[in-house]
Amino acid sequence: MHFGKPKPSHRGEHSLLGRSIRLKAERILSVSRTVKDKKENDVRQYYRALYHAWGAQHWWPAETRFEIIVGAYLTQNTAWTNVERALAQLRDAGLLSVEGVRRIGLSKLEELIQSSGYFRQKAKGLKTFIAFLDAEYGGSLDRLFTEPTSTLREKLLSLNGVGPETADSILLYAGNHPVFVVDTYTRRIFERHKILSSDVGYEDIRGLFERALKPIAAAGQQTSTNWAPALESGIRGAGHSPSAMSAAPRTALVQVYNEMHGLIVGVGKHYCKKSQPDCGGCPLRPFLPDR
């Protein structure tokens, strides 16, 4: 009986094609890991250079956790000097507390924080936070900050007037939760240094910094809270005199995230300005890429 010629098998071709695709995918992943590892190493180098130059920043300057929370709202879209004036108004009126903001009328609160700009939205945001604190935690900051980080972050982000930077500032500085704060300075500095692209999202930047800084905390490479000697310019980054909150006990990881954010603020405030950056005396000048 004649069955004709056997049909050619494509199994070998498919196997070669599959192997080729896998190799390409592995090469792409390898390149991606290399780029990611380099960025993380760059972040660590920047941290060490800045901390060596400026030392502990004692940021966030505040006497209480609630003062930090109020400051996190007020600092949205304004300079810190404007926030300080608004905080002083609340403090002088005896209202810089959960109970104080709870009992004050909305219009009076708007008046007291007017120097911070967008005062109507910020006053409503603070009132919303107090209502949330009362409803969910019986008005207790202790109960609020015992929540798991991811749970509390999600709840904070659901509040009117709270974006990622505000939520993370509250978590890190008031609650001692290990969350890195990404601000405008972070984007500006690391875009100019070609570490970040202009289209990268907040969460990706936060993830990069958290991954990069964890080894520093784990190795105990930053434990001192003392200031370094001032540079010839007298600049210590965004350094403040120690305050009750800046000197409070915290984990090594929270301390490193805290310091890196303060150091970045110092670079942005004094050197990496929005227009006319002054790279000459910046501790990060040696890392600036060729243009």
DSSP structure class, residue 223: -
C-alpha of 25 from chain center = 33
Q: Domain residue spans in the chain?
A: 51-59+182-222+235-287, 65-174
Terminal CA-to-CA distance of the chain, rounded, Å? 78
Are 82 and 157 in contact by the 8 Å Cβ rule? The answer is no
Q: How high is the pLDDT of residue 290?
A: 75
CATH number of 51-59+182-222+235-287: 1.10.1670
**pTM score:** 0.85
What residues form DSSP beta bridges with 227?
A: 55
The two three-digit tokens of residue 159, written as one number: 């509040």
pLDDT digits (tens, 9 = 90+) for 201-255: 999 999 999 999 999 999 886 545 454 454 445 567 777 788 999 899 999 999 9
Say yes or no to pLDDT of 94 above 90. Answer: yes
Give residue 96's pLDDT band: very low, low, confident or very high (50, 70, 90): very high
Better-predicted residue by pLDDT, 65 or 24: 65
Query: In a 3-state reduction of DSSP, which class is residue 146?
Result: coil
Q: How high is the pLDDT of residue 238?
A: 74
pLDDT digits (tens, 9 = 90+) for 109-163: 999 999 999 999 999 999 999 999 999 999 999 999 999 999 999 999 999 999 9
**What is the average pLDDT score of the chain?**
89
Are 125 and 119 in contact by the 8 Å Cβ rule? The answer is no
Q: Above pLDDT 90, what percent of the chain?
A: 76
268-280: average pLDDT: 93
pLDDT digits (tens, 9 = 90+) for 73-86: 999 999 999 999 99
CATH number of 65-174: 1.10.340.30
pLDDT digits (tens, 9 = 90+) for 31-63: 556 888 999 999 999 999 999 999 999 988 899
Angstrom distance (rounded) from CA 189 to CA 266:
11
The C-alpha R_g of the chain, in whole angstroms, comes to: 25
Q: How high is the pLDDT of residue 227?
A: 45
Better-predicted residue by pLDDT, 270 or 233: 270
What residues form DSSP beta bridges with 55?
A: 227
Angstrom distance (rounded) from CA 42 to CA 44:
5
Side chain identity at 270, as an amino acid letter? Answer: H
Say yes or no to pLDDT of 89 above 90. Answer: yes
| Longest pairwise C-alpha distance within the chain | 107
Q: How high is the pLDDT of residue 36?
A: 87
